Amino acid sequence: MLGMETPNGTPEAPYIQVNSTDVPDARGYYGQYGGRFVPETLIPALDELLAAYQDAMADPEFQARLAYLQRTFTGRPTPITYAERMSRALGGAQIYLKREDLAHTGAHKINNALGQALLAKRMGKQRVVAETGAGQHGVASATACAMLGLDCIVYMGSVDMARQQPNVFRMKLCGAQVVPVESGSKTLKDAINEALRDWVTNVRSTFYLLGSALGPHPYPMIVRDFQSVIGVEAREQIVALTGRLPDTILACVGGGSNAIGMFHAFRDDEHVELIGVEAGGRGIETGEHAARFADPSLGRPGVLQGTRSFVMQNADGQIVNTHSISAGLDYASVGPEHAYLRENERAYYTYATDEETLEAVKMLSTLEGIIPALESAHAIAEAIKRAPTMPKDSILLINLSGRGDKDLGTIMKELGI
Amino acid sequence: MIFNGQEEERAVVGVILTDALGRVLLQQRDERPELPYPGWWTLFGGTVEPGETPEDAMRRELREELDLDLPVTHWRTFDCPVRSEPGQVRTRNHQFSARIDQPLESLTLREGQAMRFFEPEQAATLELAFAQHVILRDYLRDVGGIDVGSNLVLLEPETTAPGQRYPLVIFLHGSGERGDDPALLYRHGLPRFLQTGGLLPESAYVLIPQCPTDSRWEYLLERLDGLVESTIHDHPIDRNRVYGAGFSMGSLGLWHWADAYPDRFAALLPVGGHGFKSWGGAHFVDPARTAGRTPVWMIHSAADEAVPVSGADDFSAALTAAGVTFGYTRYPDATHAQTSDRAFWDSIHYEWLFGQRRRAPGVRGVDAVARMFEQAKAESRSAFLPYFPIGFPNYTESLAAVEAMAAVGVDGFEIGIPFSDPVADGAVIQEATQIALDNGTTVRQCIQAVRELRGRGIDQPMLLMGYVNPLLAYGIEAFVRDAKAAGADGLIVPDLPPEEGAAFSEICRREGLALVFFLAPTSSAERIALVAPQASGFIYVVALTGVTGERSALPADLTTFIQRLRAQTGETPLVMGFGISRPEHVRMVRELVDGFIVGSALVRAGRDGSAAVRGLAEALRRAVDEE
C-alpha cells in the first residue's frame, strides 16, 4: 500500500520505504559493486547526506510532504495504459505501459529530483548543483528548485545541449543556470565530473542533486528509493487491472534509475522476469554504443565517478567515449545495483540499436498515439522483438520513462520527416 | 639486455664437454673470412631446427660434428647477446654438459679446423667465439671451482691524519699491460703520471690491479669489486669518494663495472676507450643508464688509431639524447698512447674527478620518504614536492621537466599518471593529462618513466599519483610491484579513501611502499582519527575545499586547520597541496607543514618547456629558505 497524506498531513504508512532489501550493505556495496571512491573532501558530505536521508525517511512529516507534492505537483500516481493496438500488431504478449511520461516535466526524473530537493531544503543547503544528459533530470531539478525556492546550477555537456535544446530552454525558464561542459566527450559523464568538481569546491553550502542510481554511496540507494514509487504503483495497478502480476518487465538502462525504480518492487516476485535494455548505438560490433554489459571487450568491472560497477574502458583503464542516439543512455557506466542484479541473475540485460529505437518510436506513435522519449523507446524496441515470442495471455509491462517532445528534432532528422 | 617480448625467438645449443680430469674439449673454427669468428675457439653446438627439442638438436650436432652419440645434460639457458637485438631477435642459448671418455685420437672432427682438450685453468683465460667464454667461465667457477686471479699494486698516501678519510682511485690498464709483470703497470696513464712525480689534487689511495693475459676486466668485475670492498675495509677510505680511471681496455672495464655496480663509484674517467656494445657478463652497457647513475668524463682523440673515436662519439650522442650531463674531452690529433699521456697529465680532469661525491645509495620506498622529511627537518625547512604528469606535453619533455626540477633541489616528486576522468583536478591538469592521453601515454609508460628517471640519477623520492580505475585495470598487485621495481617510493590515489583501500594498503605495506591518504578542511575529528593511522609516508592535506588549481590566495584559517590535524596525527608528516602556486604561498605554508605540493602552476609552466618549469621550481624552492 502506498502511504498517502491524510488531512492532518500524517501518512498511514511511509510514502518511501527504506531498508526494504539486503542491499546496499553498511559500506554502500551491492555484492562487489558500489562503494565510495571519491576525494576525501566529499566523504564527510556523503556521511552528512546519508544521516540526513535516514533522518528524513524516519520523519512522518517529511514523508507526508513528499507524498503531497508527488500527488499535487508531479501528478502521481501515473496511470498504466493498455497498448491494445500494438499488442495486436505484434501478435503475442499483452503490452502495458507505465506512463512516467505523464509525470510533471515529462519523465520519471521528477520523482527523485523532488525527493532530493526536499532533502536539500531540510539540510539547509540553498545551492543545488545537478548534472544532466538528456536534460530531463536537469529540467526536473530546475522545476523542483523553482517550486521550493532553491538556487539551481545544472551542468550539461555541450554535445547534449545541442541535441536537447528544448530542455535547455525549459531549465533556463525555471531560473536554473545551465553550465556547458566542454571537457572529455562533452556528454553526461563529463557533466557529472563537473558537478562533482563544483560540489567538492562548494561542499559546505551546496547539495549535489544526482539524477541517476549511480555515483558514490548513498546516491544509488537514495535515487532507487525515491524512484521505487514507480514499481510500487505499477505493481498495484497491474494487479488491479489484470488480476495478476506481469510475466516480464522492460525498462531502458542508462545509469538505470527508471529501471531500478520499476524493478525494486518486483524483486521478490521471482517469477516476474526483469529485463534492462541498454543502448546498442550503431551496433555492438562497431564499438560505438553504451551497452556496458553486452560488450566484454569494453565493458568490464571498474571504478567511475565514485562507484564500482561495469565501466566501458580500454585496456589501460581509460574511460572510452560512448555513443547512443539518446543522450540519457549515453553513459560509460551503469548503476551498481544493476551489476549486482545481473550477477545474481535476478535481472537480465539486453540492448537495442539506434535504428531499432527509431522504429520503436514510429510504431508506438502511430499505433498508440504516444511519442516516447528516445531513451524509453529502447524498451519499446525490445518489446517489439520479444512480444511476438510470448503467449497471447502473457503480460509485458514496459516502463515508459519519458515522453519524446524533447527528441523531436533528432527524430525528425533521423526519420526524414 | 631488455627484451620487449615482441622479438622473433631463435634457439641455439652448445655443450661443455669435459673428460675425467676436468679438461674441456673445444673446437677451432675454420679460417674462412665469410664466417663470423674465423679461427676462434668455440664450444660444440649449433642451431635448433624446426620441430626439434634443444636436446635433440644438441645430440644431432654432436653426431654431425664429432660422429658421437652422447647423452647430454641441460645445464642453463642464456640469452645470447651476440645473436640478439632487443626489439628484433631474441636468441636463447641452451647450454648442455656432457662427459666425454673417448681419447682425442679416437674422435673424428667433421667441422672446424682443429680440436683439443684444455686444462680448466687455461680454458678460463680464453676468449671464445659468440662470447661463450662467459658461459664457460661460469661453468668452471660453479662446477670446476676455478678462480680467475690478478696482481695488484696499492699506492698509499705518505702520511695519513688520524680520523681523516681519503679518496680511492682505481686505475684499470689497457690490453698491453696484461700479464704477471707488475712493471708493465707503469707504462701508461695514472701510474706513469704518479711514478714520474705527478701529484693528485689531494692525498689519496690508488689501487692498480693487473689483468691476466687473455682475460678482460669485464670478466673480473665481481673480484674487482670485492677487492675494492676489502681495500675500503682495511684503510681509512671515504666510501663516497671512490673514483674509477681507465685507459683503453680499462675504460671499457670501467663502464661495465659502473653499470653492474651503480653504487660503487663517485665518478669515472674513461680514457681512450668506451663501453662499446660487447658482452659484459649479462648485458650491454647502456650509456645513459650508467652515466645517469655515475658521473662520467670521457676522453678520446679523433686521431686514435687503436680505438676509433666513433664509439666515444656514439656514447656522447646517446648521453646527449637522454639528457644526461657528462664531460667529454676530444683531442684532435693525439695517437692512442698520446691520449693517455695528455689526459692523465691534465689537472682539469683530476679536479673534476676529485670534486665528485657518490650519491646516497638506494634507500627506497617508505624509508626514502621518511628520510626526505628527516633531511628537510634537519635543515629546519619544509619539503617541496612538485607534481608533474607523464606524457605532457609529450613523454620526453615530461621527463625533462622532472629532471630540471630535480636539478634545482626539490625534495621529492608526485609523478602523475593521466586519467580520462580526473574529478579531483582543475582545468590545467585536466587539459594536460588529456594531452598526455592523446599522446598515447599508458600506465606502463609512467612506470617506465620512473625507471628512466632513476637511470638518470634522480634520487629524490617519487610517488606515483593516479586515479583508481587505471590502476585496477593494470592489476593492483602488478602495479605496486612494477612501480617498486622501477624505483617508485609510494602511491597517491585521490579517489581512494582508506575504507576502499584495504587491498592497496596491504600490498603497499608488504612491498614497503608509502600509501598516502588525504585529509581535508571538511574532515571531522572522527574522520581524522580513522584516516591518520592508515596513511604511510605522509598525510596529504587538502588546503581548501575544491579541485587542484592555482588560487590567488590561500584560506586564512590554515593555521587553525593544521593545529586541529596535528593534535590527532602526531608524528606523521603533513604535506599540503591544492592551490599552492606562488612563492608567497610557500612562505605562508612553510612554517606550518612538513611539506607542500605544487602542481597546476608547474604544469602550466610546462607548456613553455622544461626551462620554464625549472625557473618556477627554482623560485618556489628559494621561497622555502629565504626570509
Sequence length of chain B is 627
The shortest CB-CB distance from B468 to any of A27, A204, A303 is to: A303
Looking only at the bridges linking them, the beta strands covering A177-181 and A151-157 are parallel
Select the residue from A131, A198, A300, A316 to test the B interface by mutation, using most B Cβ atoms within 10 A. A316
Confidence of residue A141 (pLDDT cuts 50, 70, 90): very high
The beta strands (E) that lie in B176-247 are given as 205-210, 237-247
Rounded CA gap, B506 and B491, in Å? 13
Q: Are A259 and A227 in contact (CB under 8 A)?
A: no
Choosing from A100, A131, A375, A382, which is the catalytic residue? A131
Whole-Å CA distances, A201 to A195, A207, A304, A348, B422? 10, 12, 19, 39, 15
The DSSP-derived string for B280-304 is -SSS---HHHHHHHS-BEEEEETT-
Stretch A22-32: mean pLDDT, rounded? 95
Q: Which 8-state DSSP code applies to residue B142?
A: I
The type of residue at A188 is L
Question: What SS3 string covers A223-254?
Answer: HHHHHCHHHHHHHHHHHHHHCCCCCEEEEECC
Report the percentage of chain B scoring pLDDT > 90: 54
Rounded CA gap, B443 and B441, in Å? 7
Rounded CA gap, B9 and A272, in Å? 57
Chain A, 40 to 79: residues with Cβ < 8 Å from chain B are 40-45
Secondary structure element (H or E) that encloses residue B587, with its range: helix B583-589
- Cis geometry, peptide bond prior to residue B393 (ω within 30 degrees of 0): yes
Q: How many CB atoms lie within 10 A of CB A76?
A: 22
Q: Are A404 and A374 in contact (CB under 8 A)?
A: yes
- The verdict on A26 touching B (C-beta cutoff 8 Å) is no
Please confirm, yes or no, whether A87 is among the known catalytic residues: no
pLDDT for the residue B232:
85
Whole-Å CA distances, B364 to A328, B369, B505, B512? 48, 8, 17, 8
In chain A, whose CA is at the least distance from the CA of B498?
Answer: A40
Stretch B442-464: mean pLDDT, rounded? 90
The shortest CB-CB distance from A319 to any of B421, B424, B474 is to: B421
Read off φ and ψ for residue A228, nearest 5 degrees: -65, -15
In chain B, residues with a C-beta closer than 8 Å to the C-beta of A37 are 468, 495-497, 500
Chain A, 114 to 173: residues with Cβ < 8 Å from chain B are none
Chain A, 267 to 306: residues with Cβ < 8 Å from chain B are 300, 302-306
Secondary structure element (H or E) that encloses residue B452, with its range: helix B443-455
pLDDT for the residue B360:
58
Q: Are B200 and B350 in contact (CB under 8 A)?
A: yes
Looking only at the bridges linking them, the beta strands covering B539-542 and B237-247 are unpaired
Confidence of residue B108 (pLDDT cuts 50, 70, 90): confident
**Which of A128-142, A379-393, B29-43 bottoms out in mean pLDDT, i.e. has the lowest?**
B29-43
pLDDT tops 60 at residue A208: yes
Please confirm, yes or no, whether A186 is among the known catalytic residues: no
Whole-Å CA distances, A160 to A256, A323, B204, B456? 18, 12, 75, 47
Q: Which 8-state DSSP code applies to residue A199?
A: H
Ramachandran category for residue B272: left, alpha or beta (phi over 0 → left; psi -120 to 50 → alpha): left
Residues of B with CB under 8 A from a CB of A: 419-424, 426, 430, 434, 437, 442-444, 468-474, 494-497, 499-500, 517-524, 527, 531, 542, 545-547
In chain A, residues with a C-beta closer than 8 Å to the C-beta of B542 are 39-41
Q: For B177-196, what is each residue's pLDDT tens digit? A: 988 788 888 988 999 999 88
Name every residue whose Cβ is closer than 8 Å to that of residue B129 and which is 6 or more positions away in sequence. B29, B36, B37, B40, B41, B42
pLDDT tops 90 at residue A8: no
Read off φ and ψ for residue B239, nearest 5 degrees: -60, -25
What is the distance in angstroms between the CA of the first residue and the CA of the last residue of chain B? 50
Q: For A29-72, what is each residue's pLDDT tens digit? A: 999 999 999 999 999 999 999 999 999 999 999 999 999 999 99
Sheet containing B327-331, strands listed edge to edge, beginning at the edge strand earlier in sequence: B151-155, B205-210, B166-172, B237-247, B267-271, B297-301, B327-331
The complex's ipTM works out to 0.94
Q: For B236-281, what is each residue's pLDDT tens digit? A: 998 889 999 999 999 999 998 998 788 789 999 999 987 654 443 3
Rounded CA gap, A35 and A22, in Å? 15
Least Cα distance to B218 among B281, B137, B270, B290 occurs for B281
Confidence of residue B75 (pLDDT cuts 50, 70, 90): confident
- Cis geometry, peptide bond prior to residue A24 (ω within 30 degrees of 0): yes
Whole-Å CA distances, B413 to A392, B454, B462, B535? 68, 12, 5, 18
pLDDT for the residue A1:
40
Give the residue, A1 or A389, on which the prediction is more confident.
A389
The shortest CB-CB distance from A201 to any of B469, B531, B547 is to: B547
Burial class (CB in 10 A: 0-12, 13-18, 19+), B42: buried
Q: For B203-212, what is each residue's pLDDT tens digit? A: 999 999 998 8
pTM score: 0.70
Name every residue whose Cβ is closer than 8 Å to that of residue B425 and which is 6 or more positions away in sequence. B433, B547, B548, B549
The type of residue at B248 is S
Report the percentage of chain A scoring pLDDT > 70: 97
Chain Cα centroid distance, residue A149: 24
**CB–CB contact A183 B474 (8 Å):** no
- The verdict on A217 touching B (C-beta cutoff 8 Å) is no
pLDDT for the residue B144:
53
Ramachandran category for residue B460: left, alpha or beta (phi over 0 → left; psi -120 to 50 → alpha): beta
Q: Are A353 and A323 in contact (CB under 8 A)?
A: no
Confidence of residue B283 (pLDDT cuts 50, 70, 90): very low
Residues of B with a known catalytic role: 414, 425
pLDDT for the residue B180:
79
The beta strands (E) that lie in A229-372 are given as 248-252, 273-281, 299-304, 306-312, 347-353
Looking only at the bridges linking them, the beta strands covering B8-18 and B44-47 are antiparallel
Please report, to the nearest 10 degrees, the dihedral formed by the alpha carbons of residues A104, A108, A111, A113 taken in order.
-90
Whole-Å CA distances, B127 to A327, B40, B73, B283? 72, 8, 24, 17
The shortest CB-CB distance from A193 to any of B421, B443, B521 is to: B421
